A = this chain, B = another copy of it.
Amino acid sequence: MIKIGLIGYGYWGPNLARNFNNNSEIELSSICDFSPDRLEAAGKLYPNVKLVSNVEELFNDTQLDAIAVATPVSTHFELAKNAILSGKHVWLEKPMTEKVEQGEELIDLAQKKNKVLLVDHTFVYTGAVRKIKEIIEKGELGDLIYYDSTRMNLGLFQQDVNVVWDLAPHDISIMDYLMPFKKVAVSATGSHFYGNGIVPKSLLTIYMEKNIVAHINVSWVSPVKLRQTLIGGTAKMVLYDDNEPSEKIKIYDKGVDLYETKEDLYHLKVQYRVGDMLAPKLDDCEALAMEAEHFADCILNGKQPETDGVAGLEVVKILVASEESLKNQGAPVDIS
């Protein structure tokens, strides 16, 4: 039984607590939060869990095997570092760290101490994303050419980071899992039109090797909720709409063919293919439940997490580059 301590019982922490508690290999042992109200709320649902207000108690608890960190990003590095140094495996919320160097240091540390470091890119564990991965690996989409995602709603406007730090990690981590290509450059645009210095709406472009491109549109200030992701291949294309209650994934047998003609040697002729659409049945397990099981499996069997520090760092690199590009109205930032 893996004994785990959870730091942070705010917006996301309760979901972690519930899933750790439901997992047969994990024992939710203690919960830490600086707010007495949040601790009281935790205590009502988990009467047998130890409630603490000081993180040191968790680091010093030699009974604990692992620590989950669900706090604001600015605290991730210190907490995760101390957790590893105190001999714990770590479940770390995304984005992994504020800075690239911090991410690199955590990866090194976890390796040296032989500890599991999982970054919580939850979407990677959804039935929808795993099904798309399966389709891609079968070669059904042909060569991958683009990723396009719109993630908008009204809500959770952050007060100290731009929207890219909050919403784009979802898309970057999905993209990196599905399309693990070398990234070349990042361009990000947006404006702080509310006058508080925060960019609540942004376009993000990631240039990759082989002319593959990702276009990501994130916003906290849309009157409607949109979750539309397209994965373009030369053979087929996928629409992943997370708003759909049942048919989240649609595989379109559609595409564009280019070929030379005798009459026109200068231009490639373009032809469209339009065929059937298939919406495959998806596994409807809760993603966090699968992820908790995977975390336990990594600890018990010495496996590397699918969303490890390296995957977490890839997201941080792009976010940091976006931030710089955003200050320069979209000027590209090299990340190759």
Q: Is A182 an interface residue (CB 8 A)?
A: no
Output the least CB separation between A42 and chain B (Å): 15
Among A50-58, A93-101, A118-126, A328-336, the one that faces the other chain is A328-336
Inter-chain CA distance A159–B268, complex, in Å, is 7
B219 touches A148 (CB 8 A): yes
Residue of B nearest to A212 (CB): B193
From A47, A148, A221, A267, name the one whose CB has the most chain B CB atoms within 10 angstroms. A221
From A160, A224, A245, name the one whose CB has the most chain B CB atoms within 10 angstroms. A224
B212 touches A191 (CB 8 A): yes
Output the least CB separation between A195 and chain B (Å): 7
Inter-chain CA distance A120–B154, complex, in Å, is 34
B330 touches A193 (CB 8 A): no
A230 touches B237 (CB 8 A): no
Q: Is A320 an interface residue (CB 8 A)?
A: no
Q: Is A30 an interface residue (CB 8 A)?
A: no
Inter-chain CA distance A147–B221, complex, in Å, is 11
Among A7-15, A67-75, A251-259, A293-301, the one that faces the other chain is A251-259
Instruction: Pick the residue among B221, B253, B281 that contacts A274 (CB under 8 A).
Output: B281
A187 touches B185 (CB 8 A): no
Interface positions, chain A 215-265, Cβ under 8 Å from B, are 215, 217, 219-226, 228, 230, 232, 237-239, 243, 245-247, 250, 252-254, 256, 258
**Given A145-B194, A148-B219, 20 new contacts (CB under 8 A):** A145-B221, A146-B201, A150-B217, A154-B256, A154-B272, A157-B256, A157-B270, A187-B331, A191-B212, A194-B268, A203-B205, A205-B329, A215-B217, A220-B256, A221-B256, A225-B245, A275-B281, A277-B278, A278-B279, A279-B279
Q: Which residues of A contact B (CB under 8 A)?
A: 47, 145-146, 148, 150, 154-155, 157, 159-160, 185, 187, 189-196, 200-201, 203, 205, 207, 210-213, 215, 217, 219-226, 228, 230, 232, 237-239, 243, 245-247, 250, 252-254, 256, 258, 267-270, 272, 274-281, 325, 328-332
Q: Which 10 A-B pairs have the closest CB atoms?
A: A187-B330, A223-B252, A189-B205, A329-B332, A191-B213, A223-B237, A145-B193, A330-B330, A277-B279, A157-B270
